[in-house]
Amino acid sequence: MRGYDRTLWCKLGKDKSRVRTSRLFSGALAHGIPALLAAMLAGGGAAAADLTTTKEPPPPPTWWSTITVNGEIEAGIMGNPDSPPSGLNWGHLFTDRANEPLFNQGLLTIQRPIDSSKAQYDVGFVLQVMYGSDARSARFLGECDYCINSLYQVALEQAFIQAHTPWVFPGGIDWKVGSWPGLEGIETIEADTNLFYSHSYLSNYSEPFFETGVLAISHINPTLDIYTGISSGESTTLVPYIGDNNNAPAFDGGIGLNNLGPKGSVTVLATTHIGPEDPYPFYGPPANSKLRYVNDLTVTWKATDKLTLQLDGNYLYDSLLRADAYGAAGYASYQTPWDWLKINGRAEVYRDDQGAFVAAFPGYFDYVNLLHGYTVAPGILPGIVQAPTTYLELTAGLNITPTIPASIPYLKGVIFRPEVRYDTSLNGTTPFDLVQTGPASGFGTKSSQVTIGGDIVLKF
């Protein structure tokens, strides 16, 4: 009977009560039913019952069951004590309306994530649509650009198929095909993943929001990832001169380093975007050959369980405009002993060396007209620009995340993000407090600006 005992050991695992019962059970087979009853009494009814009530493990989730549908709403206000005559906060893009409440974004995201940790094929997708004032700038060309003549517009934010293939490298390769977020920078279009309501100069004016094309992320080993992609360019789609403002592709690439430093607390991402980005309707044939270079480095250090430090450095050069911009932004985020409160800070220096990139867009279609290359007057692109300036930006804010009562249906989370921001020129220019009428129209009058405001983000 030893062989039978060993079989039960394998089937039942190393549970001592089960092993004891198995031996008694094997003896009962030899001595009849009375002995079996005695064995059950001796081993305990619970142990015997355990033999007959073992549950099968739940079936693995299906592909369809892992699809998620999420919603997000963001609304806020950015006050400006100076009440600029133009009504615009200079240096802001999504929070540009001074003292005016904004419904920034309503996001609907349908997605099926992929699992890159397993050596098997996996396919998913992301589809994200936005309605709100942010859609004026956070959009792709050629996709309902002029559907809504209003401060509040609709835009497709992401639409791509993603896949994991266990090819070539130990960690395989992840793929994105379609329209996906740009690689550069720390801040994102989605509100809930940022520390602040307002955005940095780097995020607003240097780093690509979106790309359309193919991207491969090769997981060489647990430490090293290689990014390689080809796209139609910044915030463009695939039809030349309609969805794309020129007729030339762009390259995207980079290196990601993971689990560096003590306890794997440091991650580094170095990326580049190289391609023609200036609009053909305005510049003509040179727009298809002159390149824009956007080089970016981000570092994240989880210094302690409570403190996270980040750095974003960027250099941009446009060979057609013969203009460059460069800067760095540092972030600090401290999780207080209270789970509902996080304290954040951002410090940034940004140089717009020819005054070619930092701009304001008072008209509803100014931003998209600029990307297309449509003029507002002979030889003039839409948007208000200023003199070459070195900007300093300091922002302090809170993330307040109260517990949501279970009695509130559908609501998964709330974030309040109050902030105070100070912007100034370090080289004596006066880009702030724009004047929109009269002889000084389009020019700033002050060398600094203070904004006070914040937003609320609801997650469903």
pTM: 0.86
Q: Are 174 and 164 in contact (CB under 8 A)?
A: yes
Phi/psi at 274 (5° precision): -130, 120
Output the domain CATH number for residue 342: 2.40.160
Query: What is the structure's pLDDT at 57?
Result: 83
First to last CA, the chain: 60
Q: Are 437 and 85 in contact (CB under 8 A)?
A: yes
Gap between the Cα atoms of 357 and 370, Å rounded: 11
Residues sharing a CB contact under 8 Å with residue 24, sequence separation 6 or more, in sequence order? 39, 40, 42, 43
Is residue 158 assigned to a domain?
no
Query: What is the structure's pLDDT at 258?
Result: 96
Sites in the chain below the pLDDT cut of 70: 1-54, 437-440
pLDDT tens per residue, range 179-217: 999 999 999 999 999 999 999 999 999 999 999 999 999
Helix axes 2-12, 16-31, angle to 10 degrees: 140
Is residue 91 assigned to a domain?
yes
Chain position carrying tokens 């507002």: 376
CA distances from 96 to 31, 168, 350, 453 (A): 88, 47, 18, 12
- Are residues 18 and 46 both part of a single domain? yes
Phi/psi at 170 (5° precision): -55, -35
Domain holding 47, by residue range, is 2-52
- Are residues 46 and 191 both part of a single domain? no
Is residue 411 assigned to a domain?
yes
Is residue 129 assigned to a domain?
no
- Are residues 21 and 87 both part of a single domain? no
How many structural domains are present in the chain? 2
How many Cβ atoms are within 10 Å of 364's Cβ, its own excluded?
17
pLDDT tens per residue, range 328-383: 999 999 999 999 999 999 999 999 999 999 999 999 999 999 999 999 988 899 99
